[in-house]
Structure 1
Amino acid sequence: MKSLNRALVILLSFIIKSYQVSVSPFLGQNCRFDPSCSNYALASIRTKGALVGVFLSIKRILKCNPLHPGGHDPVK
């Protein structure tokens, strides 16, 4: 099970880094949070594991909207 989690962490990290390099530069700095949502996703997946990290990332992305004030929100 640990090796499956490790493989998923590597795969998800690759996908997020690819997004940061290829898509994010064209979108500009729009995230209202620090760290940005993609950096938060990377940190949460690497520190909490694939399943919990994806859950935290989705929760964070859903908060990234005009109705939420944003601000400093590190992975806890």
Structure 2
Amino acid sequence: MAWLQRFILQRIDRYQQKGGGTPQFGVSCNFNPTCSEYARQAILKHGSIKGCCMAFKRLKRCNERDRVDKIDDPVD
């Protein structure tokens, strides 16, 4: 695993260990898996560059702050 990939995954792990978006931003993720878990899976499956691009596209779709039902959106 390349150093960049390890670095990004460590940051995602730290974010998840602190509780993710709920305590830090006051919102819960609209998706299943959560955006941070999606990013982690995408980076592991597709590498740092493509995985980060996929994660940013996912984050851009996250715009319903108080959505009740979760959207299933696995990593392809």
TM-score class, shorter: 0.7 to 0.9
Confirm whether residue 18 of structure 1 aligns to residue 14 of structure 2. yes
Uncovered stretches (5+) of structure 2, i.e. residues with no partner: none
CA contact (8 A) 1:64 1:70 kept: no
Confirm whether residue 7 of structure 1 aligns to residue 3 of structure 2. yes
For residues 4-31 of structure 1, the C-alpha deviation after alignment (integer angstroms, 9 at most, x for no partner) is xx21111100000011112526246611
Identity among equivalent positions (%) equals 31
**Aligned residue number for residue 65 of structure 1:** 63
In the aligned structure 2, how far is the partner of 1:30 from the partner of 1:15?
19
In the aligned structure 2, how far is the partner of 1:29 from the partner of 1:60?
16
Count of matched residue pairs: 72
| Richer in helix (by share) | 1
Uncovered stretches (5+) of structure 1, i.e. residues with no partner: none
After superposition, the CA RMSD in angstroms is 2.5
Q: How does 1:23-62 map to 2 (within 5 A)?
A: 24=20, 26-27=23-24, 30-62=28-60
For residues 6-64 of structure 1, the C-alpha deviation after alignment (integer angstroms, 9 at most, x for no partner) is 21111100000011112526246611100000000000001100000000000000001
